[in-house]
Structure 1
Amino acid sequence: MGTVYLAEDPLLKRRVAIKVVRVTGAARHQAMLRFRREAEISAQLNHPNLVTVFDVGVEEDLGPFLTMEYVEGKSLGRHIKDKDLDLETSARVLIQAMRALRAAHRRAIVHRDVKPDNILLSEEGRAKLMDFGIARSMGHMSLDPEGPLEDTLLLGGGTEALAQTLALRLTASGDFLGSPAYAPPEVLKGSEGTPASDRYSFAATAFELLTGQLPHPGEGLTAIIIHILQEPVAIPPDMSPRMAGVFQRALSVDPEDRYTSLPEFMEELIDTLPGPVSLRARLFALLGHEEDSTSSVSTARFRIAELGMGDTGAHPIEASPRGTQPVKITLAEDPVETYLSSRRSRIQPQPDEVDWLGVLKWAALVFLLLQVFWWLAPALSRFQLKS
């Protein structure tokens, strides 16, 4: 859709990447809108595992442009093709990318295009999630302004007709936002993007990184879409049953059946990795450490039992750090209602918890005072009679 240049800021003497889109008319406005969204999200999140955007604007001769930090390295997609990452490095990249995506979810931002090509790995080993240009605070991926593609099924077209219609629109109109090979079934059918759909795309990325193949392979776009819509995950024959179970849950057709948080998925996945216990212990330690120093993840099933220390029984959290509230980001021309606010009407306020310890303390104090009064009452009566 455009060109990316490597440039130097003449004032700050730093290298930057400049993305330029050569379009006109309505497409020019849409490109500018996406660039503004990416800049706004970068400014609000300010996360070490997100690519930082420095500037956004329009040049008359070039069109809309986006200036961002230059990451010297290559994309995770390129690393997958080159097969040059070992198991531990791959897991570390996933943990870092998870942090960036979770930071966006905490603020009700849905990325909608999580894939290996949107994760950069610097030469220093830091993963950077990029391309929030199609992110929305309440992502809706409708492909047909007159009605959802599921109407094709109602008219008797079947899944294949739906997939062919979808593939045609993807290549012809560009209406679909995201990458079909990593998109969950509900998004392909026209439903809105949610954190659950991002978690599906993240799991699909992890699957390809660890196996070298897509969870739903196919020759061509139509075949891949058909596989996603009607076939189970293509588990490689050499994958362990435990790891297969993790991916089958993470890539479930029903969003309600998937993992409810990214840390929970990563914990289960790390626990199934082959290799010595020390490898998994290092990864769990990294998973429990927040590089942005804002919060820490409780690594429950730290699998400390494997180290002879017992299981704490704690569970990971995906909420905001204690003492802070998620910050709502209102993106340009987005619906006012965000993902969190849409859920607010379904969440009933919980009654305050009773402090039973305090109640017991007061009851004990009252009982003690009554006992003292009971013992002193006869003496007080005699004293009054004598007086």
Structure 2
Amino acid sequence: MNADDRSRRALSLFDELVDLDADLRAARLSRLREEDTALYAEIVALLEADSREGLLEKTVLSLLAAPEPSGEIPSRIGPWRITGVAGRGGMGAVYFGERDDGQFQQRAAIKLIRVGMDTPELRARFLRERQILAALEHPHIATLLDGGVTDTGAPYFAMQRVEGAPIDDWCDAKHATVRERVALFLQVCAAVQHAHQNLIVHRDLKPSNILVDAEGQAKLLDFGIARLLEAGPEMTYERPHTPEYAAPEQIAGGAITTATDVYGLGVVLYQLICGRPPREADEPLPRAVAQAPAETVRARGVASTKQLLREVRGDLSAIAHKCLQKEPARRYASVGALAQDLRAWLERRPVAARRQTRGYVVTRFIARNRFAVAAAAAVLVAIAGGVTGVLWQAEKARAAAAEAQAQLDYLRGLLEVLAPSTAEARELDRSRLIAEAARRARAELTGRPASLAGVELALAQVAHAVGDYRQAEQLADSAHALRISVYGASSLEVAETAVVAAQTKIRISPPRFEEAARLLDGAIAILRHRAPGSAELAGALQTRSTVEGEQNRLAEQEVFIREAAAICEGPACREAPCERVWRELGAIASQKRQPHEAIAHYTRAWEARKKRLGAQHASTLDLASMLAWAKAEAGDLDGGLALAEDVYRAYQDIYTQPNEKTLRGQLRLFRLARRAGQRERAMALIDDYLQHARRVFGEQHPDTVLGYSDRGSLLYNLGRFEEAAAEFARASSAYAAMDNGINAALTRSFQGEALREAGRPAEALPLQIEAVATLRRLYPDGEHVMLGRALSSLGVTESALRDHARALEHHAEAMAMQRRLHAPGLSHAANAQAFYGKALFDLGRRREGEAELRAAVEALAPLRDDVPNQYWEPVALLTLVACANGAPDCESLKALSRQAEGVALAATTQRRLREALGEE
């Protein structure tokens, strides 16, 4: 055996012997000494070296003094075939390689270290450390696949090859928000904590050693220069590190401990937030953020430095500062403690890095709304007893703008308690509390208009949330006027108050749409100029879209919402206003009878809000309620109804009194119950809804009037036509008073239908003619699904009055319109075709009429369970016409009509089925 073969054999045996207990090892060595004394001597030298110095206890100077590696690319390193160069550095080179030794097929990144492995001591220590590093199994650590020594004595590590980008580049490319960056950074903390638990410290933590893959999973690399934390003397030599990320003790050649990695993690966190490492260990994070270039700020998903500073100041800054303390003992005691603080920050709980004053702890509790009852009670006691210290304790803020901001932030957090959004919140007389808070603000903030405006704006938003729209409007208008006087009419601050003031004017009864539009147009102009592409602009556009939608100006509504949607495909997509944009897109799709598109928009909004607020937050439930309706529209009635029931129960857990959110959820549940044939339940729900809507919204509010129309529809389905006509008449008059021409015309058409079915077609006709004329005028291009429906209904009334020619004309127009707006097989088009066929029959074109009816029924067959009324009514008409024509399948059609027994159908459909079967 030559020297090279003996060395390779010695290294192999070393791996077997090093972990044996002393007696077994001695027995093996005794046998080996008898077999091959030279091999025995080399192994003994390796084992003795294993108990002494570590491989990486050589100084950086000695490493750099090693010969420069050749520029040639090796063809193989150990069992690895080299396929390319990943990079080179002072410590050596990293290659891409593939294992093709016949045992495995693997791809790896192979680090070849520039250290001469020419002594048994260094070889042994390297192999020992390789074994322990290989035991680091963690989802966020790149696995050590192999390690060894080349024929020239250079050590190498073969690591799992990670396809990804450095964590800072990945986050910037994704425009990740600060919260998303922190959540991702926690994966890195988990990896480092796992290494520490295995007595390994990384020592060179930096963004380039943390790659993030396409699935957003972080992988920590380069444990090849890690150091074992063993018992024995502390290491006091220079070691490999990157100066910008190195802890002070590393630079000074001091002891390396887990605190060294805590410092490195702090630097990485600092860079993730502000775009660069700290220039000095004690450089405050907010200062670095304030100096950050605009592109760095935008890459964090916000439109302005001010927004980024708002997130960073306070707790997060304190966490970074604690990591970066010069003295290791003043840093976090462990990476686990750092991770615990970061999770607390994400959940808005107190963090250990901050001094735990009573005021600080209370503020954090309020911010996360976990102790809503206690906080709300404290406010009530303070107001009742004249204690000024709860809401306005921060009088110290007079001299310092930063403290004034902190006071306002505290106030906003506290006021969230007054608008309960989780089951922990307790119902209070919030309107009185808000009014008293506003009075105190005006008294105690005299001479400080900017602060007063901020407080009034916050109070306006809470008043809006609890349904006190009149008080919300007064507070928002006051805040708006104050901000104009302080900041000027074209300021961002004025744009903010304008949007809130407009939102209140949409909700008051009767709504002030013109005033809302004027305020929003001004805000949008400011934001387009001063904050283009921002979430604030998207929110203003969405609210402007709502103003148009409430007035059924659908073309104008889409112009605004599409512009907002385009903004929400950029960095603004993670902000709350975009959730409202996607919700509005869902509502528009639903109105257009595009349920699958509606589901996509609602789901996107719902998932984003769940992530931001939690699944049981009232605002998240509101979106779930909309999603439930869309599911039913798409054919999943059971799934939609179950989801709506869950939302309704959750609302009852949160609120003890009805408000805007609970009532809208209740109205959607009513509609689904009506659709599912649960008529008694539906009637109870709509009666209860209207009782509370009159109090919450007001008699003439659109949401109240919508209840009248919905109650009319239920009464119509139940065959209570006179009562239905009265409800539709009430709704139509109210809509007309609001200048909502489209809804006034639609409910007038419904009133005509009810009168016709009540046996009063002559009274119905003028109402329906007027309604159709109005809809032709108001709908863009004179076309809409609901105009088509009104034309069909008018045709039925004309047939009842024996004006078959006019009826055929209107049915033909309705069918053509619905076909242009929808595919022929969809329910509206096919239903129009069925009535067109009946009109042909009535006019004496009996066979043509029968053919049209057969085509309509065939088109509607796949929708039989989804839209039962729209299926069974054409079946009844076909049965009647075919049997009158003497069709051979008359009895088969009658048998089909009898299958409708037991199906929850409208009274009109049931009557036509009885007529078809000769039972009436």
TM-score, scaled relative to structure 2: 0.24
Aligned residues of 1:141 and 1:176 also touching (Cα < 8 A): no
Q: Which residue pairs with 1:5 in the alignment?
A: 95
Distance 1:129-1:28 versus aligned 2 partners, 3 A rule: farther
Match for 1:14 among 100, 106, 112?
A: 106
Distance 1:111-1:202 versus aligned 2 partners, 3 A rule: same
Render the CA deviation track for 1:120-148: whole Å, top value 9, x for unaligned.
212222211122233223385534xxxxx
Q: Which residue pairs with 2:196 in the alignment?
A: 105
Render the CA deviation track for 1:209-259: whole Å, top value 9, x for unaligned.
1111112x2xxxxxxxxx44xx65564234413322222222112222222
Render the CA deviation track for 1:279-301: whole Å, top value 9, x for unaligned.
x35x99xxxxxxxxxxxxxxxx9
The answer to whether residue 250 in structure 2 is matched with residue 187 in structure 1 is yes
Distance 1:132-1:269 versus aligned 2 partners, 3 A rule: same
Give the letter aligned to residue 247 of structure 1.
A
Q: Which residue pairs with 2:335 in the alignment?
A: 262
- 1-side partners of 2:175 and 2:123: how far apart? 34
- 1-side partners of 2:317 and 2:124: how far apart? 42
Aligned residues of 2:116 and 2:153 also touching (Cα < 8 A): no
Q: Which residue pairs with 1:120 in the alignment?
A: 211
The within-5 A match list for 1:1-387 is 1-10=91-100, 11-21=103-113, 24=116, 37=129, 39-60=130-151, 63-76=154-167, 78-79=169-170, 85-138=176-229, 140=234, 142-143=236-237, 175-215=238-278, 217=279, 227-228=280-281, 232-233=283-284, 235-236=287-288, 237=290, 238=309, 239-272=312-345, 280-281=346-347, 306-310=367-371
Distance 1:249-1:27 versus aligned 2 partners, 3 A rule: farther
Distance 1:71-1:89 versus aligned 2 partners, 3 A rule: farther
Aligned residues of 2:117 and 2:153 also touching (Cα < 8 A): no
Give the letter aligned to residue 9 of structure 1.
R
Distance 1:43-1:83 versus aligned 2 partners, 3 A rule: same
Render the CA deviation track for 1:79-98: whole Å, top value 9, x for unaligned.
47868544344223211111
- 2-side partners of 1:35 and 1:86: how far apart? 43
Give the letter aligned to residue 181 of structure 1.
E
Give the letter aligned to residue 192 of structure 2.
L
TM-score, scaled relative to structure 1: 0.53
Aligned residues of 2:157 and 2:224 also touching (Cα < 8 A): no
- 2-side partners of 1:192 and 1:208: how far apart? 25
- 2-side partners of 1:23 and 1:135: how far apart? 15
Give the letter aligned to residue 13 of structure 1.
Q
- 1-side partners of 2:124 and 2:184: how far apart? 30
Aligned residues of 1:246 and 1:269 also touching (Cα < 8 A): yes
Aligned residues of 1:108 and 1:137 also touching (Cα < 8 A): yes
Gaps of 5+ in 1: 144-174, 218-226, 273-279, 285-300, 312-387
Deviation, 1:9, is 2.5
Deviation, 1:304, is 7.3
Give the letter aligned to residue 254 of structure 1.
E
Give the letter aligned to residue 176 of structure 1.
R
Give the letter aligned to residue 41 of structure 1.
I
Deviation, 1:29, is 8.0
Counterpart secondary structure, 2:276: coil
Deviation, 1:196, is 1.4
Aligned residues of 1:28 and 1:64 also touching (Cα < 8 A): no
Counterpart secondary structure, 1:247: helix
Distance 1:250-1:6 versus aligned 2 partners, 3 A rule: same
Counterpart secondary structure, 2:201: coil
Gaps of 5+ in 2: 1-90, 291-308, 350-361, 373-920
Give the letter aligned to residue 210 of structure 2.
I
- 2-side partners of 1:263 and 1:6: how far apart? 34
Counterpart secondary structure, 1:45: coil
Counterpart secondary structure, 1:133: helix
Deviation, 1:73, is 0.9
- 2-side partners of 1:27 and 1:129: how far apart? 31
Distance 1:24-1:268 versus aligned 2 partners, 3 A rule: closer
Deviation, 1:108, is 2.5
Aligned residues of 1:35 and 1:66 also touching (Cα < 8 A): no
Q: Which residue pairs with 1:297 in the alignment?
A: none
Distance 1:248-1:63 versus aligned 2 partners, 3 A rule: closer
- 1-side partners of 2:223 and 2:246: how far apart? 16
Distance 1:40-1:310 versus aligned 2 partners, 3 A rule: farther
Aligned residues of 1:49 and 1:127 also touching (Cα < 8 A): yes
More strand by share: 1
Q: Which residue pairs with 1:341 in the alignment?
A: none
Aligned residues of 1:15 and 1:69 also touching (Cα < 8 A): yes
- 2-side partners of 1:48 and 1:271: how far apart? 23
Deviation, 1:206, is 0.7
- 1-side partners of 2:264 and 2:126: how far apart? 20
Counterpart secondary structure, 2:135: helix
- 2-side partners of 1:77 and 1:67: how far apart? 25
Counterpart secondary structure, 2:239: coil
Give the letter aligned to residue 249 of structure 1.
K
Q: Which residue pairs with 1:340 in the alignment?
A: none
Render the CA deviation track for 1:151-177: whole Å, top value 9, x for unaligned.
xxxxxxxxxxxxxxxxxxxxxxxx432
- 2-side partners of 1:130 and 1:305: how far apart? 40
Deviation, 1:194, is 0.9
Deviation, 1:63, is 4.0
Aligned residues of 2:117 and 2:154 also touching (Cα < 8 A): no
- 2-side partners of 1:16 and 1:73: how far apart? 14
Deviation, 1:267, is 3.9
Aligned residues of 1:34 and 1:134 also touching (Cα < 8 A): no
Distance 1:190-1:20 versus aligned 2 partners, 3 A rule: closer
Counterpart secondary structure, 1:6: strand
- 1-side partners of 2:114 and 2:133: how far apart? 23
Distance 1:266-1:259 versus aligned 2 partners, 3 A rule: same
- 2-side partners of 1:84 and 1:263: how far apart? 27
Deviation, 1:186, is 2.7
More helix by share: 2
Distance 1:177-1:8 versus aligned 2 partners, 3 A rule: closer
Aligned residues of 1:7 and 1:18 also touching (Cα < 8 A): yes
> Which moves more between the two structures, 134-143 or 236-245?
134-143
Deviation, 1:52, is 0.8
Deviation, 1:53, is 1.1
Distance 1:22-1:261 versus aligned 2 partners, 3 A rule: closer
Q: Percentage identity across aligned positions?
A: 30
Give the letter aligned to residue 257 of structure 2.
T
Counterpart secondary structure, 1:71: coil
Deviation, 1:59, is 2.9
Larger radius of gyration: 2
Considering only aligned residues, what root-mean-square deviation do their CA atoms show, in Å? 3.6
Render the CA deviation track for 1:21-48: whole Å, top value 9, x for unaligned.
35546599869955762x3233323111
Aligned residues of 1:141 and 1:177 also touching (Cα < 8 A): no
Where relative contact order (Cα < 8 A, 6+ residues apart) is larger, the structure is: 1
- 2-side partners of 1:2 and 1:81: how far apart? 29
